[in-house]
Amino acid sequence: MTRLFGTDGVRGLANENLTAGLALRLGAAAAQVLTAENRTSKRRPIAIVGRDPRVSGEMLAAALSAGMASRGVDVLRVGVIPTPAVAYLTDDYGADMGVMISASHNPMPDNGIKFFSAGGHKLPDVVEDEIEAVMGRLKEEGPTGHGIGRVIEEAPDAQDRYLNHLRESIPTRLNGIKVVVDAANGAASEVTPLAYSAAGAEVIAIHNNPNAYNINDKCGSTHIDQIQKAVVEHGADLGLAHDGDADRCLAVDAKGSIVDGDQIMAILAVAMKDNGELRKNTLVATVMSNLGLKLAMAEAGIDLRTTSVGDRYVLEELNAGGFSLGGEQSGHIVLPDYGTTGDGTLTGLAIMARMAETEKSLAELAKVMKVLPQVLINVPVSDKACIMDNPDVRAAIAEAEETLGKTGRVLLRPSGTEELFRVMVEAGEEETARRVAGKLAAVVAAV
């Protein structure tokens, strides 16, 4: 049986495999599992529900709310707002659970459902499995009369609470900084330009007019060329591009050069070390981070810990080790002192705060890390499980590692969602990386 939950909640094509009926049952089951501890108290359980502006979000929010209310949970709808805002508000309102309806950077027809437990934390696999199990034996009838939950359609202070949180987290004034923000016609469209303006920056917002259908449409962090052009056209100091639910942030400097998640982590790690905020002098990243990040951190005297690919693994390592900074090359940056998940708006504020503190341009700050050429080839395979056990593949990896020495790196891993094997090679020269990667990919394809 295929697991309902993926690496980041439940995702699918809205109204095909992610239907209102599924959302109704999922909401009811999640409410039963995530509010079980408070069923003996006199206070009725509370759930926070937010969404990005894609058209199917309205339908799914209604269905989820109905499912949770049918299990005696009061639902507070906070409207169109970023994923990290839902995580924060779950904690700030003292709610028992939170729900974000978004497919992040996916195209408009898709949607997704992400749950947070009390305190605004993402769910571990064991809890997601419990929700799936409850769905399978869920009774249609629930409490009656006074036992049915209420659905409050609007929380008028939700956005202000989140904006206050951002201001208190990064209090540095950004006066004199001119920034272009690409909101991806998504959840960041209103709140993120407000946050940057409130901090003192001059803000030029693009792709901040969602119409329910244009989210991520040739804009945002997956189409970085848009903000590259805009920054140069407006003579801005930098550009910040978010994805549909605004938990990611990528940047470009004044000349339009990309500053990716690895470079952002390098900038913030050094800043936090200088300010005495980098706990245990450690940065957490995934195995996909550029080798240049490892070299830069070693030069800065900062330890780098790596995890499997996925923000949940970064979060697990941050929490287990008590560290204060982690993230992914994709721009999903986590600052545990200020949030329980990645927050693109907070990341943007932190980048600009470092610029303000040092009076340096983003390009100057980004020099802390040299990005090594990285080549990634996706190889279609018939059986992902057997690739790494194949003697020809093992021999090819050994040969590649000998060729690259300490100046490069080889990483082979299976795709989590497709019958593909990913071959990644880094080297000091792009031609070398391409040659080595191509040779490895050919061996994998022949298996």
Choice among 187-201, 317-331, 409-423 with the minimum mean pLDDT: 409-423
Q: What is the CATH number of domain 10-155?
A: 3.40.120.10
Q: Which strands form 282-286's sheet, in the order they lie side by side?
A: 303-307, 282-286, 326-327, 333-334
| 258 burial via Cβ count (<10 Å: 0-12, 13-18, 19+) | middle
Write phi, then psi, for 46 (nearest 5 degrees). -125, 140
Unique residue bearing structure tokens 């920054």: 231
pLDDT at 40: 65
Q: What's the mean pLDDT in 356-368?
A: 98
Q: Across-strand partners of 182?
A: 206, 241
Residue extent(s) of CATH 3.30.310.50 domains in the chain: 374-446
Residue extent(s) of CATH 3.40.120.10 domains in the chain: 10-155, 161-366
pLDDT at 334: 97
The residue type found at 396 is A
Q: What is the dihedral of CA 20, 31, 158, 354, to 10 degrees?
A: -100
Give the C-alpha separation, 230 to 220, whole Å: 12
247 in a known ligand binding site: yes
Query: Strand (E) positions, 261-403?
Result: 282-286, 303-307, 326-327, 333-334, 374-380
What secondary structure letter does DSSP report for 45? P
Neighbours of 87 (CB within 10 A): 26
Residue 86 zone, left/alpha/beta (φ > 0; ψ -120 to 50; rest): alpha
| Interval 314-324: pLDDT, tens | 999 999 999 99
The chain-wide mean pLDDT, for the chain, equals 94
What confidence tier does 445 reach under pLDDT thresholds 50, 70, 90?
A: very high
Give the C-alpha separation, 126 to 317, whole Å: 17
Does residue 1 have a pLDDT over 70? no
274 in a known ligand binding site: no
Q: What's the mean pLDDT in 5-28?
A: 94
What confidence tier does 384 reach under pLDDT thresholds 50, 70, 90?
A: confident
Give the C-alpha separation, 231 to 406, whole Å: 37
| Interval 282-299: pLDDT, tens | 999 998 899 999 999 999
pLDDT at 348: 98
104 in a known ligand binding site: yes
Q: Across-strand partners of 380?
A: 420
| 129 burial via Cβ count (<10 Å: 0-12, 13-18, 19+) | middle
303 in a known ligand binding site: no
Architecture per CATH, domain 374-446, reads as 2-Layer Sandwich (3.30)
Report, as residue numbers or ranges, the catalytic residues: 104
Neighbours of 198 (CB within 10 A): 15
What share of residues in the chain are helix, strand, coil (percent, to 5)?
Answer: 40, 20, 35
CATH class label, 161-366: alpha beta
Q: What's the mean pLDDT in 327-339?
A: 95
Q: What's the mean pLDDT in 325-342?
A: 96
pLDDT at 414: 87
| Interval 251-290: pLDDT, tens | 999 999 999 999 999 999 999 999 999 999 999 999 889 9
What confidence tier does 88 reach under pLDDT thresholds 50, 70, 90?
A: very high
What secondary structure letter does DSSP report for 369? S
187, 212 Cβ separation under 8 angstroms: no
Does residue 416 have a pLDDT over 70? no
